Amino acid sequence: MKIRPKSALFIRKVLSVITFGSVVLMPAGSSLAQNGAAKMVPETRKADTVHEYHGTKVADPYSWLEDDNSAETKAWVEAQNKVTFQYLDTVPERARIQKRLTELWNYEKFGVPFEEGGRYFFSRNNGLQNQSVYYWSDSLAAEPKVLIDPNTMSKDGTVALAGISISKDGKYVAYGIADAGSDWNRWKIREVATGKDLDDELKWIKFSSAAWDKQGNGFYYGRYPEPKAGQNLTESNYFQKVYFHRLGTPQSEDSLVWEELENKDWRASAAQTDDGRFLLVTIGKGTDDKYRLLFKDLYKRDARPPQHFVGEFDADYTFIDNDGSLFYFRTNKNAPRGKVIAIDVFNPAPANWKTLIPEADETLEGVSLVGDKFIAQYLKDAHSQVKLFTVEGKPAGEVKFPGLGTAAGFGGRRTDKETFYSFTTFTSPATVYRYDVATGESSVYKAPKLAFNPADYVTEQVFFNSKDGTKIPMYLSYKKGMKKDGTNPTYLYGYGGFNISLSPAFSPANLAWMEAGGLFALANLRGGGEYGEAWHQAGTKLNKQNVFDDFIGAAEWLIKNDYTKTEKLAIGGGSNGGLLVGACMTQRPELFGAALPAVGVMDMLRFHKFTIGWAWIDDYGSSDNAEQFKALLAFSPLHNMKPGTKYPATMVTTADHDDRVVPAHSFKFAAALQAAHVGSSPTLIRIETKAGHGAGKPTSKMIEEAADKWAFLVKSLGLNWK
């Protein structure tokens, strides 16, 4: 089956003395009057809300901030932003930082091309466009034509593409539209040759792609019930259903393909095999890669719904391709680091499975079948390794890369003779290559041009022991000539969750940090997928403290080995990484000089009450479970703030349209931090407007946010920005 590119799944006002409802601006001398910069600070009202969990009463004084539609919450947001941006405006280097970031961001960027129906499709950004533009051409040498330009859909670049899917004949493109960073998408259909949209429009779609049928008559997709008025950014998302949309018909006439009325948390995606014979339905019910698979033989043309044939939410079963009824899957069933197996859908008993590519020492991340060869993408100590195998599973070569980096792509069909991939490092922007499957030769297709010399920088990988003795890898990237004298401004980044692996990737923002003399460190923590499912599970639920111990261990190693010291050490992370930062700064406030928690999950007792939060129970557990409640309460950043403590300089970041991790997490955490903190270090929150969890954020907003982040650290760590 053709593997397509994955869709890219954050108010500045003058400070004034004013009262907004229950948000009172207090005079200097309170905890945010730092360095004479912030003259006023919002004091957040405390409510008497208390929740009871298994006989334990837990106060929730800032619960009112969960209502993002209330006038009081909106006033609080405005008041907090005034203080934050007034503080940032006092950093003299900020304008220079933003100017340099703009220069570094301004280079041509290309997505990995793919072919469909004899046409090539790819994305391109000319440098500073808020959103990348999709193009198409009849050949690699032909002049490309614009397919979809999201920059024309809004003046401020806050409307983004949430995904595209090309019909198998290359005639139509279905594309998702995300407004202001929301996970909610609208899908439309465009004729490729003319660039004209059909009248079709599909709504209330979230976490779904469009999977075309072989004939190009329509596509399969998933949608949720329409939320209650005013609750579209907070209401829990349950009872997803899968439909088939036929071109030229209204959404109300879409055919129901799959639904589950007794299990509200089951979600599914459906697609036809490339031969058009089978419908495959993959069902999941959380964030773990554990599935239940159904199939239907479309040649039989009966009315029966798809039938179950493998999986009971026990393991990963990711479909690769098929030979008739023989299906190829990547799975971690009895193979935590992954393997490739063959299953006959008409004879699916495990005793009949055949292992084609056995489990290796490396972690198997993805597999495609192109040019009659399996292209297997592995992670070896958190960097890419790609091996080829015959359909029978015999080794057939390896793709060589120029150093420790990350490769992505390798999509295509079994009959294709070529595929494309990108390769990037911490100090090299993504270069796109064409790969000849028969000869094993890679040739540069598109190479970015950026005015800096990668040879001026060094990347090394080190390993350290965590608290329990587990060996943890960490990347260090910095400018040549940096001295190990314990004085280097250091930005330590991590994630550690949901089986997500962090590997080398280029970032203009990180390059600017290193260019100015900073050290960038990336720790590969447990909870991620770097070493397979066992590594993931070692950082989940009752084991979640391992993740924080790993990150704290990384900080201690950097200090012990004279790369930096507490006063020069900042930590950062987003989403689950925001939780990571929040937990570590509350557990070890004396260890860090600054903290940048972004869109974090901070209230570990109530996260499952909003939007898709219930799905994270796979990784976190739930306060509804007595044993898990105790573990969650022990590390929940919101609930472990200790009054009278000197916390690191902190700038929380979130966005008003984040319907993944609702902004109330950050609102409540910031309010609690400001109330508990003593000392002169700033404790601020930056709330972006018309933005969401991060996907589809306009280039202009990314540059502004990066400039504010580095400006905050310049002042907090005493960095001499060169």
- For 298-415, strand residue ranges (E) read 307-310, 317-323, 326-331, 339-344, 354-357, 363-370, 373-380, 383-390, 395-399, 406-409
Is the distance from CB of 426 to CB of 479 less than 8 angstroms? Answer: no
pLDDT band at 230 (very low <50, low <70, confident <90, very high): confident
pLDDT confidence of residue 232: 77
Which pLDDT belongs to residue 582?
98
Q: Which two tokens stand for residue 642?
A: 């200790």
Max mean pLDDT among 36-45, 94-103, 204-213 falls in 94-103
* pLDDT of 616: 95
Contact 295, 281 (CB under 8 A): yes
Whether the per-residue pLDDT at 510 is higher than 70: the answer is yes
Q: Which residues are catalytic?
A: 575, 693
Of residues 286 and 579, more confidence is placed in 579
Angle at 507 between CA 505 and CA 513, to 5 degrees: 125
pLDDT at position 9 over 60: no
- Asked whether the beta carbons of 454 and 470 are under 8 A apart, the reply is no
pLDDT of 690-718, one tens digit each? 666 666 788 999 999 999 999 999 999 99
Of 146, 130, 187, the residue nearest 164 (C-alpha) = 187
CA distance 696 to 179: 9
Query: In terms of pLDDT, which residue wins out, 206 or 421?
Result: 421
Give the angle 207-222-656 at the CA atoms, nearest 5°: 35
* Rounded distance between C-alpha atoms, residue 484 and residue 477, angstroms: 13
Give the residue from 242, 329, 320, 340 showing the smallest Cα distance to 283: 242
pLDDT higher at 281 or 10 = 281
What sign for the dihedral angle of Cα 466, 644, 84, 22? positive
pLDDT at 693: 65
246-271 confidence digits (pLDDT tens): 999 999 999 999 999 999 999 999 99
Report residue 41 as tokens.
């600070």
Per-residue confidence (pLDDT) for residue 670, from 0 to 100: 98
Nearest CA among 107, 112, 151 for reference residue 130: 151
Does 26 score more than 70 pLDDT? no
Structure-derived torsion over alpha carbons of residues 370, 374, 379, 385, reported in degrees to the nearest 10: -70
Q: Which whole number is the average pLDDT over 543-568?
A: 98
Q: Report the distance separating Cα 381 and Cα 628, nearest Å.
A: 31
pLDDT, mean over the chain: 91
Q: What pLDDT is recorded for position 696? A: 74
Higher pLDDT: 655 or 480? It is 480
> β-strand 594-598 against 649-655: which pairing, if any?
parallel
Each residue's pLDDT tens digit, 673-693: 999 999 899 999 999 876 666
Report the predicted TM-score, pTM, of the whole model to 2 decimal places: 0.91
Is the pLDDT at 672 greater than 50? The verdict is yes
- Confidence category of residue 207, pLDDT binned at 50, 70, 90: confident
pLDDT in tens, 129-187: 999 999 999 999 999 999 999 999 998 888 889 999 999 999 999 999 988 778 889 99
* Confidence (pLDDT) at 692: 61
The pLDDT of 593-621, averaged and rounded, is 95
Question: Using CA atoms, how far apart are residues 401 and 406, in angstroms rounded to an integer?
Answer: 9
Phi, psi of 510 (to 5 degrees): -65, -35
**Residue with structure tokens 């034509």?**
145
Q: Could you tell me the domains of the chain?
A: 108-234+241-246 (2.130.10.120), 452-717 (3.40.50.1820)
Looking from the CA of 653 toward its CB, the CA atoms found within 13 Å total 26
- 3-state SS of 312-323 is CCCCCEEEEEEE
53-99, pLDDT tens digit by residue? 999 999 999 999 999 889 999 999 999 999 999 999 999 999 999 99
For residues 406 and 398, give the distance between their C-alpha atoms in angstroms, rounded to a whole number: 15
- The CA-atom distances, in angstroms, between 127 and each of 104, 109, 448 are 9, 7, 10
pLDDT tens digits, 339-369: 999 999 999 999 999 999 999 999 999 999 9
Do the strands 278-284 and 267-272 form a parallel or antiparallel pair, or are they unpaired?
A: antiparallel
User: Among candidates 109, 114, 116, 101, which has minimal Cα distance to 132?
Assistant: 109
The helix/strand/coil state of 574 is strand
The answer to whether the Cα torsion of 701, 702, 706, 712 is positive or negative is positive
Least confident interval from 111-125, 177-191, 539-553, 607-621 = 177-191
Tell me the residue length of the chain: 722
Q: What is the pLDDT of residues 488-500, one digit of tens each?
A: 999 999 999 999 9
587 near 548, Cβ under 8 Å? yes
Structure tokens at 388: 């080829």
